[in-house]
A = this chain, B = another copy of it.
Amino acid sequence: MDETDRKIIGILAQDARRSLTDIGAAVELSPSSVNERIRRLVASGVIRRFTIDADHRALGLDVLAFVWVGLSPDADEAAFRTFMADHPAVAECHHVTGAWSYCVKVRMPSLGDIEPFLAELKRRRFLARSETVIALSTVRDNQFTSPER
């Protein structure tokens, strides 16, 4: 992981379809060297996968919400994590410091879909308490943040 690798990652984060020749020109390396570096970055897990950044609204997921979860004392935490990992509406789930146990980011077709989701969490005895915050608008939503600065 040197400066060149970081540059390549930056380029791919912006546009993962850039050709090896193109990237090579940007980092002053031959296409085959760039290829070898990308292969290594994927193999070592620095690059987890190639993916797309989609417009969730266009896909019918109009609602973005953060659900703060206070896990109930008798909750099966492993089951909770599995549930979060598998649930299609869950975009992110982090164990956090502070008053809450988990911060869960969910995307849903409509506001009406949030209640059944919370009800399900309750039914499974995960919840001691929760708080839901709706995102009204999004200023920025990147997976990637530039490492420099």
Contact = CB atoms under 8 A, between A and B. Distances in A.
Interface of A: 1, 6, 9, 12-17, 44-56, 58-61, 64, 66, 81, 84-85, 88-98, 100, 102-103, 106-107, 109, 131, 133-149
A53 B42 CA distance: 10
B103 A66 contact: yes
B47 A52 contact: yes
Contacts of A14: 49, 51
Contacts of A58: 1, 44-46
Contact of A135 (B51, B84, B94, B131): B94
Contacts of A60: 147
Contacts of A85: 139-140
Given A6-B59, A92-B140, A133 B15 contact: no
B134 A81 contact: no
